[in-house]
Amino acid sequence: MKALSQKRRHPLAALALLVLGLMLTGGLYAIATTVNAAKADTTTSSASQVKEGEKLFVANCATCHGVGASGTKAGPSLAGVGAAAVDFQVGTGRMPLQMQGPQAREKPAQFTTEQTRELAAYVATLGDGPALPAEEFIDGKGDAAVGGELFRVNCAMCHNAAAAGGALTRGKFAPALAGVSNSHIYSAMITGPQNMPVFNDANITPEGKRDIITFLNTIEAQGSPGGAALGSVGPVSEGLFLWTAVLGVIIGFTIWLTSRTS
């Protein structure tokens, strides 16, 4: 007992205990993260999807984003962007980028839905990021009234109250949302592509995002009940149209009167 007591009072005993504690904590953390990563991989994608996605990435994306998606001068690193970012950018045809500009423009998708999922599965393995939206939140069966209020508060200042899009600064723009799939709308909200802010679950809950999608589906299905939408820009376009039309009528009537008197 006396010998053991002396060892406990050794000057290096505290250092040895500290090192042992750090090693134990680090080991437990490594085991926990490995288990979580394994669970995520098995639930979201298969090994074959990841393998095929890596092949597609090397052949089509590595030129700009670098081998391993570490980033280059031509394109940023994709570590941590998540599968949802790939679903939006590749699924809408914005990537691969057609040309440099203020922002990537939508175009016909270069990859099939399955290939897009494979690319998303590969990118998801590079770091934690937003996953693909759950089907229950993109079914379009939310509350359109609540979604309309959320849209007007959070989105209308850029996308227009009728989701017709709008101009931003330096050649950028918020696109119109008609014809955009529910999955891509949800993915855009949780990833914040280009000039769009990120609306995480603390900003807008998944149920709120579902309501917004339902609102967008509703106004798209309704069309323009008031007649010609005039671009859905609002009173500016309507006032300009009326001013131009009335002024044209006045000018035409004036020309007709002067021609009659002569």
Decide if 10 is inside a domain.
Answer: no
Contacts of residue 191, defined as CB under 8 A and 6 or more positions apart, other chains included, come to 81, 82, 84, 85, 88, 130, 198
Same domain, 207 and 177: yes
Print the domain residue range for 58. Answer: 37-129
Tens digit of each residue's pLDDT (9 = 90 or more) over 221-252: 887 666 666 665 555 666 777 788 888 888 88
Same domain, 121 and 158: no
Domain count, the chain: 2
Query: In a 10 Å sphere around its CB, with 0-12 CB exposed, 13-18 middle and 19+ buried, how is residue 239 labelled?
Result: exposed
Show which of 129, 160, 175 is a domain's final residue. Answer: 129
Same domain, 113 and 145: no
d(CA 106, CA 101): 12
pTM: 0.70
Over residues 176-205, mean pLDDT: 94
CA 120 to chain centre: 13
Helix (H) or strand (E) holding 22: helix 13-44
Tens digit of each residue's pLDDT (9 = 90 or more) over 86-143: 999 999 999 998 888 889 999 999 999 999 999 999 999 999 999 999 999 999 999 9
